[in-house]
Every structure is written in structure tokens, then in C-alpha cells.
């Protein structure tokens, strides 16, 4: 660790050790703490600040939720040749994902398409880490999940939808995959919290206050509701995610976790759906899908446009070489949390 002014520099192993220690001290068994700490470390590594160490206090709050199951052991169900279900038992989603991953991947490679439904999970993380788990295996992947109903539909005045992220990944031979991961809200909830902490105004069109009026004040937005990106288009996409990652897999929409939370303000409990495709099977050898996709990517980049996740990959390289920098106030907040010896 190095300290300079209002910044603290940590190695990635230090980030992981701090995160795991805090999670274990909060009562999370190592089998749940390790994947959660790993994803927090990956978020910090890629300079996705709202999904790095910033999340630790909220994780502790979630672990202390009366309905969070610290002793949860995921139960994997081999449902059909293309469908796998896993019950997270109201623990975190990440251990459930890891438990189901081998069967989920095997089915994609056997059938060409594979669907994974994660039920009864608490979810706090970005989706790109799990997408990258699949692209690393040569699979094309999609992931979707609802959240709390913090987001007003287009034309509405109060929350009905979640931030409802959707992520997609396409493997690329010999280089980083094409990955996007974004909330269907105009901004992520965690980023509004960061604006509040920094005293920064929001952009117009991101949120409304408790009375349904447009606001650029982050605190008023947290009390009111966020807005979807792209007006009615983002609202429709968000609704699709509600249905696919909720009722389709017999789990909750974003309205129901608010009742389930009962005012604790923990991470939302709900479900998640992932879909994996094997391009080797679906392509059938008729054409070179790598050459075709690389031509598309090159055409985008050659005209000065940027592929999504490039910023993350650049940040990853910096972090691997030099460690990560976090604000001193965040470091002090995290280090004030109880830690395992």
C-alpha cells in the first residue's frame, strides 16, 4: 500500500484480501466470500469504481439482512438438455453461478444454446465478470437481471422498473472479447451515490424527485426515481428484462424485492437469467464467424469509434502493472469495517 495526498494505492492482492476479510468478519463463509471478493476486486481493477470497494459497506448491510442466508448452499437442477436451474437459497448470486457453470457450459457445447436460471439470489455486482467467464470458454453470452424498482417508466412519475442491466459478450481469438454491460436506467444507482458523495450534479434527464419533477440533485434522485435511457425505448427494453429475468424463471420483478427488503436497503433479492451460445455449433462451419465479426469491429474502430469495454481493458492493464488508486475517504471507510484476523 502507498499513500499520497488524498489517494491510496493498493495492489490487487490487497484489494482481494481486504474485501474477503470484511466479508468473512460479517459472517459470510469462505465459499460465498471468495467469489464476491473476487468480483469486487475485478471491478476495482477495471476502474468500475461503483462496483469495487465502494460496494463493501453495502455488502455488509446485505449480509446482515434478516432474510439473507449466510449458510446458503446452491442447489443445481439439471432441468432439460438446454436448461439449468440453480437455487441460490437467498445467498449471493455469484456462488450459485459458479456451482452451475460447468453444467451450463457443457450444455451450450452439446446443444449449441444453453439457458441458466438463478433463483432466490441477492445480487449486487456488474454482469460483465460473468460474461467474461463465458467468453473465455469461447461462448457468446447474454445476462440480464432486475433490481429494486428505483426507475420510473417513460411518462411515469414513480419507480416501477429496476435499473435492469443487460450484458453481452462475443469472444475474439487472441484478444479481449467484445463486451457491453449497461443498466437500462440512464445512470447506474451506484453512480448516483458517487455523485452525491462528490457533491456533483446529475445530468438533466437522469432522474426525477419524490414529486415526479425533473432533478439534477443526486440526493433528491435517490429519494425519487431514476429514468430509463432513450425514453420509451429504454423503458420497453427494461420491461423485457423484468419479464425474462422475473416471471419467465418464476422469480420476482423489481417491485417485489422492495417489499422483500422491508426497508433494510440491502442489495435486491431476485433472479437472473443467462444465455450461452456456441458459435462452433450455430455457425456450422458454413462461414468463418470470427473473420466476419472482426471485419465489423475493424470498420467501427477504423472510423474513430470505440468498442465498448476498451476503457475497462485499458484500466485493467494499468491496474495489473501499477495497482489501483482509491480515494482516502473510501479507504478509511472500508478499513473501519470489522475484518477477520
Looking at the annotation, which residues are catalytic?
A: 50-51, 191
* Residue 57, H or E segment: helix 56-63
Nearest by Cα to 55 from 339, 254, 333: 333
CA 212-216-218 angle, 5° bins: 90
Asked if residue 151 lies in contact with residue 226, where contact means CB atoms within 8 angstroms, the answer is yes
Q: What is the DSSP string of 137-157?
A: TT-EEEEE----S-EEPTT-S
Structure-derived torsion over alpha carbons of residues 197, 60, 263, 332, reported in degrees to the nearest 10: -20
**CA 73 to CA 109: how far, in whole Å?**
26
Nearest by Cα to 339 from 10, 65, 14: 14
* Total count of residues recorded for the chain: 341
Asked if residue 69 lies in contact with residue 47, where contact means CB atoms within 8 angstroms, the answer is no
**CA 96 to CA 73: how far, in whole Å?**
8
Asked if residue 40 lies in contact with residue 62, where contact means CB atoms within 8 angstroms, the answer is no
Beta partners for residue 274, in sequence order: 116, 143
Strand 75-78 to 214-215 pairing:
unpaired
Radius of gyration of the CA atoms of the chain, in A: 20
Amino acid at each position: 500500500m502507498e499513500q499520497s495526498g488524498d489517494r491510496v494505492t493498493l495492489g490487487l492482492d490487497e484489494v482481494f484480501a481486504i474485501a474477503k476479510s470484511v466479508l468473512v468478519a460479517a459472517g459470510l463463509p469462505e465459499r460465498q466470500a471468495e467469489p464476491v471478493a473476487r468480483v469486487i476486486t475485478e471491478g476495482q481493477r477495471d476502474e468500475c469504481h461503483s462496483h469495487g470497494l465502494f460496494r463493501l459497506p453495502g455488502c455488509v448491510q446485505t449480509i446482515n439482512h434478516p432474510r439473507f442466508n449466510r449458510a446458503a448452499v446452491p442447489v443445481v437442477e439439471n432441468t432439460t438438455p438446454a436448461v439449468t436451474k440453480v437455487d441460490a437459497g437467498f445467498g449471493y448470486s455469484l456462488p450459485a453461478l459458479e456451482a452451475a457453470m460447468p453444467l451450463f457450459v457443457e450444455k451450450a457445447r452439446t446443444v449449441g444454446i444453453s439457458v441458466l436460471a438463478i433463483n432466490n439470489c441477492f445480487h449486487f455486482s456488474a454482469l460483465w465478470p460473468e460474461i467474461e467467464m463465458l467468453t473465455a470458454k469461447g461462448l457468446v453470452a447474454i445476462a440480464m437481471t432486475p433490481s429494486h424498482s428505483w426507475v420510473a417508466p417513460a411518462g411515469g412519475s414513480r419507480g416501477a422498473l429496476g435499473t435492469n442491466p443487460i450484458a453481452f459478450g462475443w469472444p475474439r481469438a487472441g484478444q479481449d472479447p467484445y463486451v457491453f454491460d449497461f443498466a437500462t436506467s440512464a445512470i447506474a444507482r451506484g453512480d448516483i451515490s458517487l455523485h452525491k458523495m462528490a457533491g456533483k450534479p446529475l445530468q438533466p434527464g437522469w432522474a426525477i424527485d419524490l414529486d415526479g419533477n425533473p432533478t439534477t440533485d443526486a440526493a433528491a434522485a435517490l429519494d425519487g426515481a431514476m429514468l430509463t435511457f432513450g425514453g420509451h425505448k429504454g423503458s420497453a427494453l427494461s420491461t423485457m428484462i423484468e419479464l425474462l429475468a422475473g416471471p419467465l424463471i418464476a422469480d420476482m420483478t423489481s417491485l417485489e424485492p422492495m417489499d422483500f427488503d422491508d426497508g433494510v436497503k440491502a442489495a435486491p433479492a431476485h433472479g437472473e437469467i443467462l444465455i450461452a451460445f456456441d458459435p462452433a455449433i450455430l455457425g456450422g462451419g458454413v462461414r468463418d464467424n470470427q473473420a466476419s465479426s472482426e471485419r465489423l469491429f475493424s470498420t467501427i474502430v477504423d472510423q474513430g469509434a470505440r468498442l465498448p469495454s476498451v476503457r475497462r481493458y485499458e484500466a485493467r492493464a494499468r491496474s495489473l502493472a501499477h495497482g489501483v488508486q482509491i480515494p482516502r475517504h473510501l479507504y478509511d471507510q472500508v478499513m473501519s469495517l470489522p475484518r477477520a484476523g
